[in-house]
Amino acid sequence: MATQKHGPFDRLLRAAEPPSNGEPAERDRAAVYVGGTIIGLALLLLILVLPPISILSGDGGGAEGIPAGPGTSDSYTSKIRSGVPKLPAGLVAASSLFDLSAPEDQRGASGLTIPLKEQETDARDMALYTYVEEKWQRLSDVTLVAGGSAVRGEVDALPGNVIVLKRSATLLQVAGSIPAGTTLDPAAEGVLTTLHPIVFIPVDDGTIIGQPPAVPPASYRVVPSVVAPAPAVVDDILRTDETRAAHVTGIASAVTEGNFAGINVDYRGVNPALRDQFSAFVEALAQALRQDGRTLTLTLPMPVIDGASVDTGAYDWERLGAAADSIELAPELDQDLYFQRTEAALDYIVERVDRGKILITITTLSVERGGDGLRVMSYEDALAIASQVTVKHEGDIAPNTAVPLVAQNLAQSEGGTGLQWDDVARSVTFTYPGRAGRRTVWIANQFSAAFRLELAQRYNLGGVAFTDVSTEAGGANVWAAVQEISDTGSVSLVKPNGELFTPVWLAVNGALDQTRGDSVTWTSPGEPGPYEVAILISDGIARAANRITITVAEPPDE
């Protein structure tokens, strides 16, 4: 095994454009950086790297007594173990299992190169794993090297043991929708089992229109979505036998002509009076698709549960569950109610539909709730709102002046709550005063996604679906958590370190009275000119910096 050294510094964070008043449509734009740290202000973090290590064909033990951490030695050594603990369903060993040893002071981040048992041509189904506390833990993705006879992966710290595991069967369906004309997020590509390009819409005569997407040579199935922009169009189609039959024919023909694996029908808001007609349409479409070896997916609104009362609207779950191959539940957008409503709906549905057909929907987008309703936003926009700064000083700023600065959307003095973990929503959140009264933002990230994935695992569902997996959507990178549960059938539930929620302030020039908190006082330098001050905030995973420029004026003439 050899190591590939990191560079000595973290890479420069990618720029975005945050608001100046917490509302993306109206704010001024200033640079926001999302990532591990800031380089623009010379905040450089040295990464401990390891010198090259070689995996030698030495003696090794069996599956007993596997070390949780590296052994101690004067140099970097490794042993091939003769046995491997039981692997999770769906994973096979692509390499031997190696025990690792290293000097105590040199066990930092590194790139590990592992020889494979057989030459491979595709690394997407492989990853580095370690066995700790009688459980397999995923370490990192890998890339093929040495002509496919080895793989290389990055680790944050040297593990006590390492192996390359390959996915032989997917344990979890992972579907993702993507609007027409957008680009699939590369981070999602290796995790998805089904992609739903949103390309078709129904016409009231029963036909469908839209530009069929290409079917790329990919590891996922392409199952386009037909979505009704107005429920009344679907109601008109359902009312007569002729238009229903024409609709079945139109959809089935489009699927066959495009050589798609199936179709996803997303008809929410159907008139409840047409309940039987909708079920009959679904049953006829499922039969037509199966004759050609295609599948039918439905996206349905969750039933509304209020005590003993259940409102299923136009959707007969027994009939639809029997007809469809899979059903994706439309998500509850209000994160305060996500678990309450989703769990209540699942309790009802799984008594009527095969659990393996059900997928709950998760969003990688952050959600904001205010007096004007709910809206989704990108991960960077959510962090941008949190990182806004107000200069609490009227008039010109003279040299050597104390200038109060406040995180306007986090500070309690301004009516904010600060960043915090919400145990009800299982998400990082903050509340601030804004348009139409108080506004609450829930930041979607790997932590929140893991708790939603655990919900699918707890109910033993067929999988999960994501609302928008396009690069343009700007969703959070949650795919490591999805890969973990997809590979192993389990997911690590971890809450963020609350200490990271406290804002950090940085100033190259002038002086700060403190560097942590939702407000600080900056004393301007003795010379006039423009100066930068930055606030650094974190959701527990990434850091975002908002750099503001404060101009120190010439002192007035005496």
Q: Can you tell me the mean pLDDT for 204-229? A: 91
Strand partners, 141: 127
**pLDDT at position 288:** 97
- Quote the CA–CA distance of 516 and 519 in Å, as a whole number: 8
Does 304 score more than 90 pLDDT? yes
Q: Mind listing the domains of the chain with CATH numbers?
A: 71-167 (2.60.40), 173-376+441-488 (3.20.20.80)
Q: Which two three-digit tokens encode residue 53? A: 């290590």
pLDDT of 50 strictly over 50: no
pLDDT tens, residue by residue, 131-186: 988 888 888 889 999 999 999 998 888 899 999 998 765 568 999 999 999 999 99
Residue 244 has pLDDT above 90, yes or no: yes
Structure tokens at 239: 């009312």
Q: Could you report the per-residue pLDDT of 52-96, keeping only the tens digit for each?
A: 333 333 334 445 678 778 888 877 778 898 889 888 766 789 999
What is the rounded distance in angstroms from the CA atom of residue 289 to the CA atom of residue 191? 26
Cα gap 359→350, rounded to integer Å:
11
Tell me the mean pLDDT in the region 382-403.
95
Identify the pLDDT of residue 478.
Answer: 95
For the whole model, what pTM was predicted? 0.73
Phi first, then psi, for residue 484 (nearest 5°) are -60, -50
Is residue 40 within 8 Å of 33, Cβ to Cβ? yes
Spatial contact of 199 and 172, defined as CB atoms under 8 Å apart: no
How high is the pLDDT of residue 337? 96
- How far is residue 114 from each of residues 4, 155, 238, measured CA to CA in Å? 12, 13, 58
Higher pLDDT, 68 or 330: 330
Angstrom distance (rounded) from CA 59 to CA 79:
6
Q: How far is CA 56 from CA 2, 79, 127, in A?
A: 11, 7, 21
Mean predicted lDDT score pLDDT of the chain: 86
Who has greater pLDDT, 218 or 434?
Answer: 434
Reference 187, options 438, 449, 496; nearest CA is 449
Q: What is the mean pLDDT of residues 544-551?
A: 95
3-state SS assignment for residue 189:
helix
Instruction: Check residue 15 and give its pLDDT.
Output: 28
In this prediction, residue 550 has a pLDDT band, given cuts at 50, 70 and 90, of very high
Contact 212, 257 (CB under 8 A): yes
Whether 356 shows a pLDDT value over 60: the answer reads yes
Phi-psi region of 134 (alpha: psi -120 to 50; beta: other; left: phi over 0): left
pLDDT value, residue 239: 96
Which DSSP string do the residues of 516-545 spell out, in sequence order?
BSSEEEEEPPSS-EEEEEEEEEESSS-EEE
Q: Rounded CA gap, 158 and 163, in Å? A: 13
Bridge partners, 433 (sequence order): 438
